[in-house]
Amino acid sequence: MNEYVIQIEGLHVRYGKYEALGGVDLNVPKGSIFGFIGRNGAGKTTTIKTLLGLLTPRAGSCRMLGLDVQKQPLEVRKRVGYMAEDQQMYGWMTVDEIIRWVGSFYPAWDSTFVSHLREVLQLDLKQRVKNLSKGQNSKLALLLALGHRPQLVILDDPTLGLDPIARKEFLRYVISLLQNEGVTVFFSSHLLYEIEPVADYIAILDKGRIIKADKTIDLRESVRKLIIEPNNTCDWRQIQGLLDVAVDDGTRHAAITVEDCTPEKKVNIQTMGKLIREVPLNLDEIFEAYVIGNRGERKPL
Amino acid sequence: MSPTKALFWKEWRQMQWRWIFSLAMCCTIVFVGLKTRVLPDQMIILFSFGISAFLIPLFIAMGLVAEEREQDSLRMQLGLPVTARQIYVVKMAIGTLAVAIPAVVCSIIALLMAGNREKTSVDIIRIYGFAVPFGIVFMLWTVVFSMKRKTQWAAALTGMVILAVWVFLIICEDVFLLEVGEVHWDLSLIITPFGFLEAGLDKGHWLATSIVQSILAMILFWWGMRRFSMLTRSGR
């Protein structure tokens, strides 16, 4: 049995002359909650669309649940639950109609489970989709994505457009539901505080490339911010795995963010200045360091 | 419900208001016009024929792809285990029905109310009979060439440009005249679907129009399917 439900190798996707993905490699372990993060336009949705066989890559391969996405896109879509970002559904259908309509495309549609889910999510069968609130719309999209009991659920920015409270409630519900079902969740978002408490693994996508993929706990442990008082002769570029440097011209203290912050690396850094303190980072700060870190150019704190 | 039935159901329901509106408008004109006889039968029939052949296909074409692109609802359908080709074929099938139904119903009403009154029943059948293939071809051209348009109005504009080009070709009739023996063939009436409307044409001319238009329609349908698949896979 394959331990990865998603395997991506050297994926390149272009929109005309614009290269949206420039060689993405990614493995998603079975049963995990995998956070796929990146800024707007980083290529998250493009990756997901390619995974579902909705886009043709220029090069590279994708396998989902052991199936080649390009050769068997329909089989893949039958087994995967997909909730698109800001999903526009057919407003003229009633909730009941859209549930029955979507269900007819899936041989494994579980009507009993869907009825249960609909009651829990408090969706009125007679209401027209166009009259649903944003929150109810997201709940309906989630129900439609889960109705066939998929082994893998892909959520593409599922809380886009929801207010903070609705977002929290939605995520709490989704994660508790899916964790109990033992489903693998591939969860894309640019809101890191959404992903941080729930994801087992994180991949950071920037400008069409994966710049970091690791277990969330390891990522938090390995990336550190060190506040040091630097020597006059120090050269930041000599630090391996340097992500960001910020120098306070007033105190002359430098805050340097490094990945894989091992004791040896700390000793090496201490040759460049006096270590004042070590600060753990949250995912937001880690993401910022990876994506917009200056890699050795001075900037004020 | 099977996936194919589900696709048909969705398209039919989505287009329902369009074809019901078209049907109601066309039938009302025929019924009221022929009942009150405010105008000669010929005028009423030609007027409803114009609506069936030109306006309704344009109206239906606007709703097939452009409406979904405008509302961004195609993404949802493509996320389901169904191919873009299946979606396209069903859309065109429903479009064809939606174009044909008003013309057929109008012809029945006209036959019942005014058959052999001022015009013969055969003439009435012929007029509406010509509206159906013309309308279907016009709808097909509009859908295929407006595939990349993101609003319904842009799609309608594309349809009107197509119609204008056809009319221009007809106006340039002399350029397209071909003499085969003693018969004068107007090629503009063969390469445009206006040949369907030329009741005065000889059978050979009408047959040539039908064959050329059928081949063009098949090529266009296939090209449209490719364009639709590429459009949905381009991510734009």
Whether A151 is in a domain gets the answer yes
A49 min Cα distance to partner chain B (Å):
8
Q: Read off the CATH number of the domain in which A188 is found.
A: 3.40.50.300
Residues pairing with A21 in the sheet: A13
Give chain B positions within 8 Å (CB) of A102: 80
Helix (H) or strand (E) holding A46: helix A44-51
Give chain B positions within 8 Å (CB) of A91: 71
What strands lie across the sheet with A18-29, from one edge to the other? A18-29, A4-15, A59-64, A67-68
* Nearby residues of A88 by Cβ (< 8 Å), 6 or more positions away: B71, B72, B73, B75, B76
Which of A46, A52, A104 lies closest to B1 in CB terms? Answer: A104
CB contact under 8 A, B233 and A54: yes
Task: Please tell me whether residues A271 and A197 are part of one structural domain.
Answer: no
Touching check for B20 and chain A: CB below 8 Å?
no
Whether A14 is in a domain gets the answer no
Residues pairing with A35 in the sheet: A187, A202
Q: Read off the CATH number of the domain in which A273 is found.
A: 3.30.70
**pLDDT confidence band for B20 (50 / 70 / 90):** very high
What is the rounded CA–CA span in Å between residue A10 and residue B3?
34
Which of B6, B14, B73 lies closest to A105 in CB terms? Answer: B6
Q: B152-171 and B121-145 helices cross at what angle (nearest 10)? A: 120
Closest by Cα among B190, B161, B159 to B173 = B190
Task: Please tell me whether residues A120 and A182 are part of one structural domain.
Answer: yes
Query: Do the Cβ atoms of A186 and A82 come closer than 8 Å?
Result: no
Task: Please tell me whether residues A133 and A250 are part of one structural domain.
Answer: no
**pLDDT confidence band for B235 (50 / 70 / 90):** low
Task: Please tell me whether residues A177 and A38 are part of one structural domain.
Answer: yes
- pLDDT at position A299 is 46
Closest by Cα among B53, B35, B45, B192 to B122 = B45
Compute the count of residue pairs across chains A and B with CB atoms less than 8 Å apart.
64
Whether A45 is in a domain gets the answer yes
What is the rounded CA–CA span in Å between residue A230 and residue A235?
9
Which of B10, B71, B234 lies closest to A88 in CB terms? Answer: B71
Give chain B positions within 8 Å (CB) of A92: 13-14
**Residue ranges of the alpha helices (H) in A150-262?**
164-181, 192-195, 216-222
Whether A68 is in a domain gets the answer no
Closest by Cα among A220, A221, A268, A226 to A245 = A226
Query: Do the Cβ atoms of A167 and A248 come closer than 8 Å?
Result: no
CB-CB neighbours of B3 under 10 Å: 16
Helix (H) or strand (E) holding A99: helix A95-103
Which of A46, A54, A90 lies closest to B73 in CB terms? Answer: A90
CB contact under 8 A, B3 and A101: no
- Amino acid code (one letter) for B118: E
Q: Suggest the residue from A101, A129, A146, A153 to mutate for an interface test with chain B (most B CBs closer than 10 A).
A: A101
What is the rounded CA–CA span in Å between residue A7 and residue A63?
5
Task: Please tell me whether residues A97 and A233 are part of one structural domain.
Answer: no
CB contact under 8 A, B3 and A104: yes
- pLDDT at position A281 is 85
A215 min Cα distance to partner chain B (Å):
29
How many domains are there within chain A? Answer: 2
Task: Please tell me whether residues A266 and A199 are part of one structural domain.
Answer: no
The larger pLDDT score, comparing residue B225 to residue B181, is at: B225
The larger pLDDT score, comparing residue B236 to residue A79, is at: A79
Alpha-carbon distances, residue A167 vs A35, A144, A193, A224, B102 (angstroms)? 16, 18, 11, 29, 48
Query: Do the Cβ atoms of A105 and B6 come closer than 8 Å?
Result: yes
Chain segment A89-142, per-residue pLDDT in tens: 899 999 999 999 999 999 999 999 999 888 888 889 999 999 998 888 888 998
Helix (H) or strand (E) holding A268: helix A263-270
- Amino acid code (one letter) for A118: R
Whether A16 is in a domain gets the answer no
CB contact under 8 A, B80 and A105: yes
Domain boundary residue, one of A207, A237, A253? A207
CB contact under 8 A, A89 and B236: no
- Which one-letter DSSP state was computed for residue B63? I
Touching check for B10 and chain A: CB below 8 Å?
yes
- pLDDT at position A296 is 60
Task: Please tell me whether residues A50 and A188 are part of one structural domain.
Answer: yes
A153 min Cα distance to partner chain B (Å):
13
- pLDDT at position B201 is 62
Whether A275 is in a domain gets the answer yes
Hey, CA dihedral for B161, B167, B173, B179, is it positive or negative?
positive
Task: Please tell me whether residues A105 and A147 are part of one structural domain.
Answer: yes
Query: Do the Cβ atoms of A137 and A127 come closer than 8 Å?
Result: no
Q: B121-145 and B41-50 helices cross at what angle (nearest 10)? A: 20
**pLDDT confidence band for B141 (50 / 70 / 90):** very high
Instruction: Map residue A109 onto helix, strand or coil.
Output: coil
**Residue ranges of the alpha helices (H) in B37-151?**
41-50, 56-61, 67-71, 74-78, 84-114, 121-145
For residue A104, give its domain range. Answer: 32-54+77-207
Task: Please tell me whether residues A38 and A149 are part of one structural domain.
Answer: yes
Task: Please tell me whether residues A201 and A244 are part of one structural domain.
Answer: no
What is the rounded CA–CA span in Å between residue A234 and residue A226?
15
Task: Please tell me whether residues A147 and A194 are part of one structural domain.
Answer: yes
CB contact under 8 A, B14 and A92: yes
Whether A138 is in a domain gets the answer yes
The pair of structure tokens assigned to A101 is 């309509």
For residue B221, pLDDT over 90 is answered with yes
B2 min Cα distance to partner chain A (Å):
6
Alpha-carbon distances, residue B111 vs A12, B34, B103, B116, B122 (angstroms)? 62, 10, 12, 8, 9
Residues of chain A short of pLDDT 50, as ranges, are: 1-2, 299-301
- pLDDT at position A301 is 41
Task: Please tell me whether residues A230 and A194 are part of one structural domain.
Answer: no
**pLDDT confidence band for B97 (50 / 70 / 90):** very high
Whether A230 is in a domain gets the answer yes
CB contact under 8 A, B2 and A104: yes
Residue A47: burial class (beta carbons within 10 Å; 0-12, 13-18, 19+): buried
- pLDDT at position A127 is 93
Domain boundary residue, one of A207, A235, A252? A207
Tell me the HSE value of B89 on the side-chain side, using a 13 A CA sphere.
Answer: 8
